[in-house]
């Protein structure tokens, strides 16, 4: 269909519509349709005011409750379709078939909308539900009116050829619809497999994340390939677009690709994994999630650091739980020279041993580190098995227990002392005038 044919088709359509509007039975049928819609809405309102529809499916499974709610909300449409069919039958019995041709069209449009609402009830996104419903109903309306094939021919008649690929509005619409459906199905399958893999205790956290990412990428690639195959697009025709994508990656997508590849490397070599306690630069926390572009590190104060995967590959990373979940914690303190260092060490070790969260697999140790200017300096080291719960809190508990123990034993913590000596007063000269 060329442009002349499209113009002729539009002109014929305009003539047909003008003839239908000027026919004597047109406004009668429009009035019947409006009255039928009002009666259907009034009946539904009366029924809904007398009976509680919210408790109708109470206790039923979730999908059944959703289906019942959609049926209740769509009841006026079903009533309207029934009224149109009954009115059409009455007019046919009264030998008025020429003045009732719009009624079956209205009934079919109502039934199509009801079927579409039931089919889209499984979609959770309201915007997506409205979009799919409106587009599907438009296609159904064109089919009911017998205009679907002419519209398809008109959309396919206008096209441009790029690199051996013929692009038309019809092809773009088909590609968009099929790709949306394929990606939705792949996302649904991905969520299902994600839940199954996450509950598997035979896989390590990093292996779970790696499998989830590979499955999602494979599903997306398979969805795109299936759509292209369904549309009859030859892969060789996309050489132009693949070259453009390569230029785009070279110009502005290096970081995105680098972060994606770095994420795959991190998951394969298992240098970091969800649950590890890491220090990257000035950021310390537990890894909550590993995504395609970044990892989420949760600090102890409620903040989360989103660190690009490339930084973990190119920068220094401290993994406190890489090979061993146990973490060494050091507490430094001082006492005055009046205290016995042997007693201080035994007291510190005893305090650390009795502190909760301190593991007994590796016993605590206390060393006399230095004879300082104001007292003796000690270093108390102990191990904890749950570093993800924090190290500052257990360090504080040990220091508070040390303070209480020093108070009981009469051990004092030194503090700086400054001696100021005044050797003598400078002579003070008094000013005298000539009359003194």
Residues 224 and 154 in one domain: no
Least confident of 88-102, 123-137, 294-308, 351-365: 88-102
Residues 304 and 397 in one domain: no
Give 37-45 contacts, CB < 8 A, sequence gap 24+. 37/76, 37/80, 39/79, 39/83, 40/76, 40/77, 40/79, 40/80, 40/83, 41/76, 43/76, 43/79, 44/75, 44/76, 44/79
**What total of structural domains would you count in the chain?**
4
Tokens standing for residue 85: 């069919």
Share of the chain above pLDDT 90, in %: 11
The residue that leads in pLDDT, 340 or 233, is: 340
Whether residues 387 and 293 fall in one domain? no
My answer on whether 332 and 391 are in the same domain is yes
**Judging by DSSP bridges, how do beta strands 277-280 and 317-319 pair with one another?**
antiparallel
79 and 153 co-located in one domain: yes
Residues 195 and 170 in one domain: yes
d(CA 78, CA 81): 5
DSSP 390-408: -SHHHHHHHHHHHHHHHHH
Task: Report pLDDT for 340.
Answer: 92
| Pair (213, 129) in one structural domain | no
Q: Provide the residue range defining the domain that includes 295.
A: 262-319
Provide mean pLDDT across the span 133-161. 79
pLDDT in tens, 208-232: 777 887 888 888 888 888 888 777 7
Instruction: Give the burial class of 55: count Cβ atoms within 10 A of its Cβ; 0-12 exposed, 13-18 middle, 19 or more buried.
Output: exposed
Same domain, 58 and 23: yes
On average, the pLDDT of the chain sits at 78
Q: Which two tokens stand for residue 427?
A: 């002579």
Shared-domain flag, residues 213 and 308: no
Q: Is 425 among the domain residues? A: no
Torsion of CA 351, 357, 363, 365, to 10 degrees: -50
Query: Is the domain of 10 the same as that of 152?
Result: yes
Q: What pLDDT, on the 0 to 100 scale, is given for residue 436? A: 47
Q: Is the same domain home to 54 and 148? A: yes
Higher-scoring residue by pLDDT: 289, 331:
331
Q: Which of 127, 158, 189 delimits the end of a domain?
A: 158
Q: CA-CA distance, 375 to 332, in Å (whole number)?
A: 13
Q: In angstroms, what CA-CA distances link 24 with 100, 316, 352?
A: 11, 85, 99
In-domain check, residue 248:
no
What is the layout of strands, in order, in the sheet containing 277-280? 304-308, 294-298, 283-290, 277-280, 317-319
Is the pTM value of this prediction over 0.75? no
Say if 247 falls within a structural domain.
Answer: no
Cα separations in angstroms, 272 against 7, 89, 207, 304: 65, 73, 11, 17
């Amino acid at each position: 269909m060329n442009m002349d044919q499209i113009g002729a088709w539009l002109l014929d359509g305009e003539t047909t519509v003008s003839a239908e509007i000027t026919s004597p039975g047109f406004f009668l049928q429009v009035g019947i349709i409006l009255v039928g819609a009002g009666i259907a809405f009034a009946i539904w309102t009366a029924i809904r005011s007398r009976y509680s529809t919210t408790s109708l499916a109470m206790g039923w499974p979730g999908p059944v409750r959703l289906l019942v709610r959609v049926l209740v909300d769509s009841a006026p449409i079903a009533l309207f379709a029934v009224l149109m069919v009954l009115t059409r039958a009455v007019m046919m019995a009264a030998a008025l078939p020429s003045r009732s041709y719009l009624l079956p069209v209205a009934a079919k449009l109502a039934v199509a909308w009801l079927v579409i609402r039931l089919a889209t009830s499984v979609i959770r996104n309201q915007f997506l539900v409205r979009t799919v419903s409106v587009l599907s109903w438009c296609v159904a309306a064109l089919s009911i009116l017998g205009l679907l094939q002419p519209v398809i021919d008109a959309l396919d008649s206008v096209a441009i050829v790029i690199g051996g690929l013929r692009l038309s509005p019809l092809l773009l619409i088909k590609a968009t619809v099929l790709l949306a459906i394929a990606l939705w199905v792949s996302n649904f399958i991905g969520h299902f497999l994600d839940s199954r893999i996450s509950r598997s205790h035979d896989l390590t956290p990093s292996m779970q994340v790696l499998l989830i990412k590979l499955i999602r990428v494979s599903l997306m690639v398979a969805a795109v390939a299936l759509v292209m195959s369904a549309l009859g697009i030859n892969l060789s025709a996309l050489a132009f677009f693949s070259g453009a994508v390569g230029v785009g990656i070279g110009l502005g997508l290096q970081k995105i690709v680098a972060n994606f590849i770095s994420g795959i490397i991190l998951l394969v070599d298992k240098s970091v994994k969800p649950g590890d306690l890491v220090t990257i630069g000035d950021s310390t926390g537990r890894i909550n999630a590993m995504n395609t572009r970044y990892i989420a590190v949760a600090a102890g104060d409620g903040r989360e650091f989103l660190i690009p995967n490339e930084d973990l590959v190119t920068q220094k990373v401290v993994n406190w739980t890489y090979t061993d979940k146990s973490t060494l914690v050091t507490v430094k303190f001082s006492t005055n020279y009046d205290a016995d260092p042997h007693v201080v060490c035994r007291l510190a070790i005893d305090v650390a041993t009795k502190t909760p969260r301190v593991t007994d697999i590796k016993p605590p140790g206390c060393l006399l580190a230095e004879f300082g200017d104001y007292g003796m300096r000690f270093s108390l080291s102990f191990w904890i098995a749950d570093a993800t719960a924090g190290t500052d809190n257990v360090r504080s508990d040990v220091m508070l227990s040390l303070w209480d123990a020093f108070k009981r034993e009469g051990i004092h913590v030194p503090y700086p002392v400054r001696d100021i000596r005044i050797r003598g007063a400078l002579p003070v000269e008094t000013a005298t005038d000539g009359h003194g």
